[in-house]
A and B are shown apart, each in its own frame.
Chain A
Amino acid sequence: MAACGHPVAGAGQLAGQLQTAAIGLADQARGQARRVGGPAPAAVAPVHHAAPAGDGPFRRYAVTADGISPMSVPGETGLAYTADGLEHDPAGAPSSRAADHKAQLDKRRRKLLTHDYGPDWAQITGAADAKLCLLTFGACRGAVVEAAGRLSAAGLAVRTLALRLLAPLQQEALLAAIGRARVLVVEQNHGAQLYHYLHAEQALPAGAHSLAKPGPLPLRPGEIAAAAAALMDSDGDSQ
């Protein structure tokens, strides 16, 4: 539960900071549980606020270097604007001009891709030179960490990597964290969605394997450890 609450709080902060929507994914079992935890982490930066307007209309969607535009809230004199679901110009007026579309789309992409998401993009355990990396996300992390403990006790050095930020995917950091290890992507769904997503983003090294299983029965550490051992045995790398 605590591991679930932290990303949700962080996503809320990111949404405010980056002026964007944040989508949180939670396992249904977590959604039906309740737990009183510690306070959410403090906001990392204040929301951008607007400067006083000049004579022209307030440029709510001004194209800026960091992609984050000035924003006002109702009640601030001279800073009224319409938030439009249609693509718009820097003042918020609906626009069908290609230049406006590209400028606004570029701005949104820029702010998401250039933002420094810090170290919270993933939870990582184990040595960097481990032979095997168990890669997962969400509620599977507990079973994966336990499986890694069993494998380590049996003499196989394992690194675990649980993604907290799925998009924008921190591809370079992910590949660096995997290093030269074999990868087993562990996830609780029928279609191996994470495995396919990471492949599509070219964020997995060659030879990565998948362990995917649908609910409702949870993945157990023993299943994961067995699958990992079988993978390493097939390579002749088990110790």
Chain B
Amino acid sequence: MTVGDDAANRIAERHKASIPSLRAKDYKSDVKPVWCPGCGHFGVLAALTKTLAYLELPPERVAVVSGIGCSSRLPAYLAVHGFHGVHGRVLPLATGLKAARPELTVIAAGGDGDGFSIGGNHFLHACRRNQDLTYIVMDNEVYGMTKGQASPTTQPDWCRSKLTPHGTGMRRFQPAAIALAAGASFIARGYAGDPNGLTRLLAAAIEHPGFAFVHVLSPCRTFRPEQQAWKQLVHGCELGPAHDAAEAAELIQRDDGLGLGVLFEQEIPVYTAGVTADAADTLTTNERLAAIEAEHCR
């Protein structure tokens, strides 16, 4: 083979790589979603299949793991490997799978109740572990599958549930702020009604080396019909993404919770079970920890 042949092959390979071999619909299964008409989760499903097609990920190399809830039905609607697990345990499942099969693209998905209530502790430790996972939380601020109870992200004065006729009276869980405090290296917020924007966020999240948390505002048309107003209220988070934790904290706290985009991104060592994260990394463990402290927790 001559140098010219080699160059031609490279060009051909590049050209071939630029042609998507699979389309978004190829990542959808034949199972019809049980979601209510108008549910925001349809937008997340569409964005995710577009993302997988855009990234040209072979379906057999992708695994989507979920917990329990309306949003956790997601894996059944995809033509990739899926695991519909148990309530709140999506991140332990995803963690184990990624540890055993690090070559797979592992995506965890679920809702606000699943991820921030019963699975809240797993969320904290997945953030600080920084394993190469993408975690999509479809937040509709309500337990929809069980017919409309307040979740950790519900407003304290929301009183449409018979269980909390006077509201919960509790401050809301702040997903992005807590993810930052817990050590997540990628934090983004998307809106289910903007599948194209969400596709860009999901692609960035999957390509990010480390734990990527994508908080998706996904309206529940049945139990939170007022969330239809999100379409007019969401806005781009123009100041992001921050690459410094202190700046990100300020950005997140100043935002009204409806700002969309990558809020924080930082490259720090990725946790890999029993394998050195970076072969070129010659730091000792203590040096690496000190570097993380200096960068992330100043």
Contacts and interface: CB of A to CB of B under 8 A. Distances in A.
A82 interface: yes
B60 interface: yes
B76 A82 contact: yes
Interface in B64-82: 64, 68, 73, 75-76, 78-82
Nearest to A86: B84
B84 A80 contact: no
A78 B82 contact: no
A75 interface: yes
Contact of B82 (A75, A77, A81, A86): A81
Contacts of A90: none
A184 to B, nearest CB: 41
A82 B68 contact: no
A142 interface: no
B61 A75 contact: yes
A200 B220 CA distance: 48
Contact of A93 (B63, B76, B101): B76
Q: How large is the interface on A (under 10, 10 to 19, 20 to 34, 35 or more residues)?
A: 10 to 19
A79 B84 contact: no
The prevalent SS among residues of A at the interface is: loop
A86 B285 CA distance: 43
A93 B79 contact: no
Interface in B104-163: 104
Contacts of A81: 81-82
B17 interface: no
Interface string B79-97: 1111111100000000000
Given A57-B29, A74-B104, A85-B85, A80 B60 contact: yes
Interface string A65-101: 0000000001111111111111000001110000000
Contacts of B75: 82, 84
A88 to B, nearest CB: 9
Q: Which of A75, A78, A86, A94 has the most CB of B within 10 A?
A: A75
A93 B29 contact: yes
Nearest to B79: A80
Contacts of A77: 58, 60
A86 B83 CA distance: 11
Contacts of A83: 82-84
Interface in A48-62: 57
Nearest to B76: A82
Q: How large is the interface on B (under 10, 10 to 19, 20 to 34, 35 or more residues)?
A: 20 to 34
Interface in B12-63: 29-31, 34, 58-61, 63
A152 to B, nearest CB: 49
A78 B73 CA distance: 21
Interface string B261-277: 00000000000000000
Nearest to B103: A75
Given A75-B104, A85-B86, A93-B76, A57 B81 contact: no
A184 B64 CA distance: 52
Nearest to A83: B83
Contact of A78 (B30, B60, B85): B60
A83 B83 CA distance: 5
Contacts of B104: 74-75
A93 B77 CA distance: 9
Nearest to A77: B60
B60 A79 contact: yes
B84 A74 contact: no
Given A82-B76, A84-B76, A76 B82 contact: no
A80 B81 contact: yes
Contacts of A79: 60
Contact of A74 (B30, B78, B86, B101): B101
Contacts of A82: 29, 64, 75-76, 78, 81-84
A82 B79 CA distance: 8
A130 B260 CA distance: 78
Contacts of B84: 82-86
Contacts of A85: 68, 84-86
A93 B61 contact: no
A78 B68 CA distance: 26
Contact of B60 (A75, A84, A92): A75
A79 B58 CA distance: 12
A177 B59 CA distance: 53
Query: Top 3 nearest A-B pairs by Cβ distance?
Result: A82-B82, A84-B84, A74-B81
Given A82-B78, A82-B81, 6 more contacts: A77-B60, A82-B82, A83-B83, A83-B84, A93-B29, A93-B76
24 contacts: A74-B81, A74-B104, A75-B61, A75-B101, A77-B58, A77-B60, A79-B60, A80-B60, A80-B80, A81-B81, A81-B82, A82-B29, A82-B64, A82-B76, A82-B84, A83-B83, A83-B84, A84-B76, A84-B84, A85-B68, A85-B85, A85-B86, A92-B76, A94-B73
